[in-house]
């Protein structure tokens, strides 16, 4: 995504074109042999599907495809070329294309093959246009004029990482669907790796850009996993690992509860990535979520659904929960500009794709209600969206319908949607206690007792907790303090104090229990949590520690 201003066009002529351009498909036998003709139902690794029936979901995808194709898939600039028009959004002069749009088309068309009987011809035309408009490093010239079909930006033509990633992924999809694209796909991936992957393994924003920044909307982990399985000549696993590290380092520091990623990040070549300054490359501003990073919940959710990766799944859960919380569960109230704590940055700019993009994360998170709300919302067009919104909707539709197959994995085992794990409760009576004993002399505790801290400073309880993945977690202590004096405790995670004096204020009496929570970062696997009394009064009575 380049140069998006964040302005949303109002209702225009596009919808009329959709009505007039109804596409004729599906009754003719397909010319090319597809290995995975639409609808090719996939069993995702985690989460839930919308409650609508598979037949209803497939029908909704077909309807959206007819509309999208009639409006945005253009047979031009040459007789053997196709391009995806940015009509309505002005991302390229004269309704031309950008590599982002072209990449989307090269993903959508192979996934719809079998329904669209002309898909292979269209895909070949999309790829032909890319081949005819390469920059000096072999990537696609990022912006083309719709009339002249020439590079439309100033200066030497360059690429854009998101579009070039999708073009590569499209070639891998096409190779799986029809065969015959292996050399094209491997050739593209080799050039992409040379142009866009830095020595430490992070993705640059564009092939001629610096090696210190990155754009989280390019972090399409599902694509990278497919490349790792497909292209043994390049170290795609290094890119995956570095990208996941950046996600965890960034969210732990800047968005521990919502797990949001800003539109651009800097210091991507270090272990301390930061939000880019406002208006770093675009006037979004770029230090929060804008029209770039609204795509992150779609990409993270999709990766979690296809591959069950715990890092992506954790982000998907946090982002889905945050967007649900701040929108009241109404996808229309997910705004394109969001602060990193999950609160809307501005409610004056609205766009349908902001809510649509959360769909795959809601599914991965196992949130049936929010999944259904977003699924139903896809069938509406409340803000009159054009190229960008309608194209994102197209792909989100395919994912949410359960038709987004992996080009490198089998269709997966029988359906077994997994809900998110419930919070895990660790009783204090099972913890390691120092200058504290297990007691039962008050009511209302859970389990078989609670920890009664001796009235000395330095008394402690320590739990060993397990985390399925590295990342943020919420620690909740249930406690009672029958006095009116705070009994602060130091909370340490793996030996590092994360809260020097966490307050445990009075709860009226020793039979009344209350909870305090704090957000911490856990490593994958075993972690120790220690709560040490800070004052001569000792700690409160502690019933349990809950980790969620």
Q: Which residues bind ligand GCU (CB under 6 A)?
A: 439, 441-442, 452, 455, 510, 538, 541
Query: Quick one: 380 or 441, whose CB is closer to ligand GCU?
Result: 441
User: How many CB atoms are closer than 10 A to CB 15?
Assistant: 15
Q: Is the dihedral of CA 215, 182, 117, 222 positive or negative?
A: negative
Closest separation between CB of residue 367 and ligand GCU, Å?
A: 40
Query: Quick one: 474 or 512, whose CB is closer to ligand GCU?
Result: 512
Tell me the CA distances in angstroms from 165 to 106, 171, 224, one per residue in order.
Answer: 11, 10, 9
Closest separation between CB of residue 269 and ligand GCU, Å?
A: 51
Cβ contacts of 177 within 8 Å, gap of 6 or more: 34, 35, 36, 110, 113
Please tell me the distance from the alpha carbon of residue 113 to that of residue 134, in angstroms, as a whole number: 26
Closest separation between CB of residue 434 and ligand GCU, Å?
A: 15
Closest separation between CB of residue 532 and ligand GCU, Å?
A: 15
The encoded tokens of residue 461 equal 């309880």
Beta strand 460-467 with 97-98 is unpaired
Closest separation between CB of residue 506 and ligand GCU, Å?
A: 11
Query: Quick one: 350 or 439, whose CB is closer to ligand GCU?
Result: 439
Query: Quick one: 439 or 498, whose CB is closer to ligand GCU?
Result: 439
Closest separation between CB of residue 510 and ligand GCU, Å?
A: 5
Q: Is the dihedral of CA 207, 212, 217, 221 positive or negative?
A: positive
Closest separation between CB of residue 441 and ligand GCU, Å?
A: 6
CB 431, CB 461: distance < 8 Å: yes
Measured distance between the N- and C-terminal CA atoms of the chain, rounded to whole angstroms: 35
The dihedrals phi and psi of 492, each to the nearest 5 degrees, come to -120, 140
Query: Quick one: 219 or 510, whose CB is closer to ligand GCU?
Result: 510
Beta strand 432-434 with 525-533 is unpaired
Please tell me the distance from the alpha carbon of residue 297 to that of residue 264, in angstroms, as a whole number: 15
Judged by DSSP in three states, 91 sits in coil
Query: Quick one: 43 or 435, whose CB is closer to ligand GCU?
Result: 435
Beta bridge partners of 480: 541
Closest separation between CB of residue 483 and ligand GCU, Å?
A: 6
CB 382, CB 328: distance < 8 Å: no
Query: Quick one: 541 or 546, whose CB is closer to ligand GCU?
Result: 541
The encoded tokens of residue 527 equal 């972690």
505, HSE (Cβ side, Cα atoms, 13 Å): 2
The vertex-472 CA angle with 466 and 477, nearest 5°, equals: 65
Closest separation between CB of residue 534 and ligand GCU, Å?
A: 14
Closest separation between CB of residue 542 and ligand GCU, Å?
A: 10
Query: Quick one: 455 or 474, whose CB is closer to ligand GCU?
Result: 455
Query: Quick one: 493 or 533, whose CB is closer to ligand GCU?
Result: 533
Query: Quick one: 420 or 538, whose CB is closer to ligand GCU?
Result: 538
Please tell me the distance from the alpha carbon of residue 91 to that of residue 282, in angstroms, as a whole number: 13
The encoded tokens of residue 443 equal 């009511």
Q: Is the dihedral of CA 163, 223, 81, 129 positive or negative?
A: positive
Peptide bond into 331 cis (omega under 30): no
The residue whose Cβ lies closest to ligand GCU is: 452
Query: Quick one: 165 or 545, whose CB is closer to ligand GCU?
Result: 545
Closest separation between CB of residue 221 and ligand GCU, Å?
A: 49
The encoded tokens of residue 482 equal 């029958």
User: How many CB atoms are closer than 10 A to CB 526?
Assistant: 11
Closest separation between CB of residue 481 and ligand GCU, Å?
A: 8
Please tell me the distance from the alpha carbon of residue 426 to that of residue 424, in angstroms, as a whole number: 7
Look at the block and give the residue holding tokens 């194209």: 391
Query: Quick one: 349 or 543, whose CB is closer to ligand GCU?
Result: 543
């Amino acid at each position: 995504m380049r140069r998006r201003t964040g302005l949303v066009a109002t209702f225009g002529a596009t919808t009329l074109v959709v009505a007039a351009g109804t596409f004729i498909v599906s009754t003719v036998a397909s010319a090319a042999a597809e290995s995975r003709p639409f609808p090719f139902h996939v069993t995702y690794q985690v989460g839930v599907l919308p409650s609508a029936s598979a037949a209803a979901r497939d029908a909704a995808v077909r309807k959206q495809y007819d509309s999208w194709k009639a409006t945005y898939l253009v047979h031009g600039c040459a007789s053997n070329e196709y391009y995806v028009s940015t009509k309505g959004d002005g991302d390229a002069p004269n309704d031309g294309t950008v590599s982002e749009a072209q990449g989307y088309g090269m993903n959508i068309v192979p996934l719809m093959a079998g329904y669209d009987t002309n898909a292979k011809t269209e895909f070949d035309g999309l790829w032909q246009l890319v081949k005819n408009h390469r920059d000096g490093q072999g990537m696609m010239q990022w912006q083309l004029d719709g009339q002249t079909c020439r590079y439309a930006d100033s200066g030497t033509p360059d690429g854009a990482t998101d579009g070039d990633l999708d073009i590569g992924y499209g070639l891998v999809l096409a190779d799986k669907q029809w065969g015959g694209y292996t050399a094209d796909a491997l050739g593209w991936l080799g050039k992409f790796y040379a142009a866009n992957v830095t020595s430490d393994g992070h993705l640059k924003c564009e092939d001629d850009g610096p090696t210190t920044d990155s754009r989280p909307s390019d972090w399409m982990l599902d694509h990278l996993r497919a490349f790792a399985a497909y292209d043994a000549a390049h170290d795609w696993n290094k890119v995956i690992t570095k990208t996941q590290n950046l996600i965890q380092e960034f969210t732990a520091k800047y968005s521990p509860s919502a797990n949001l990623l800003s539109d651009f990040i800097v210091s991507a070549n270090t272990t301390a990535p930061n939000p880019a300054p406002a208006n770093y490359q675009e006037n979004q501003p770029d230090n929060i979520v804008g029209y770039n990073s609204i795509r992150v919940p779609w990409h993270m959710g999709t990766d979690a659904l296809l591959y069950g990766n715990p890092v992506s799944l954790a982000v998907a859960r946090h982002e889905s929960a945050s967007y649900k919380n701040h929108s009241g569960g109404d996808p229309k109230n997910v705004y394109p500009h969001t602060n990193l704590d999950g609160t809307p940055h501005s409610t004056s700019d609205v766009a349908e794709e902001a809510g649509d993009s959360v769909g795959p994360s809601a599914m991965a998170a196992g949130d049936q209600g929010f999944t259904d709300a977003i699924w139903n919302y896809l069938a509406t067009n409340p803000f009159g969206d054009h190229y960008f919104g309608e194209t994102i909707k197209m792909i989100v539709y395919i994912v949410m319908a359960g038709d987004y197959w992996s080009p490198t994995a089998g269709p997966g085992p029988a359906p077994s949607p997994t809900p998110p794990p419930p919070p895990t409760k660790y009783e204090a009576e099972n913890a390691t206690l120092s200058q504290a004993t297990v007691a039962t002399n008050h009511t209302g505790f859970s389990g078989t007792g609670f920890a009664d801290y001796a009235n000395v400073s330095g008394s402690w309880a320590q739990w060993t907790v397990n985390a399925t993945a590295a990342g943020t977690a919420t620690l909740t202590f249930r406690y009672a303090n029958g006095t009116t004096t705070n009994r602060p405790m130091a909370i340490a995670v793996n030996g590092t104090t994360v809260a020097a004096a966490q307050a445990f204020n009075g709860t009226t009496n020793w039979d009344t229990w209350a909870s305090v929570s704090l957000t911490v970062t856990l490593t994958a696997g075993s972690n120790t949590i220690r709560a040490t009394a800070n004052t001569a009064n000792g700690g409160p009575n502690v019933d349990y520690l809950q980790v969620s």
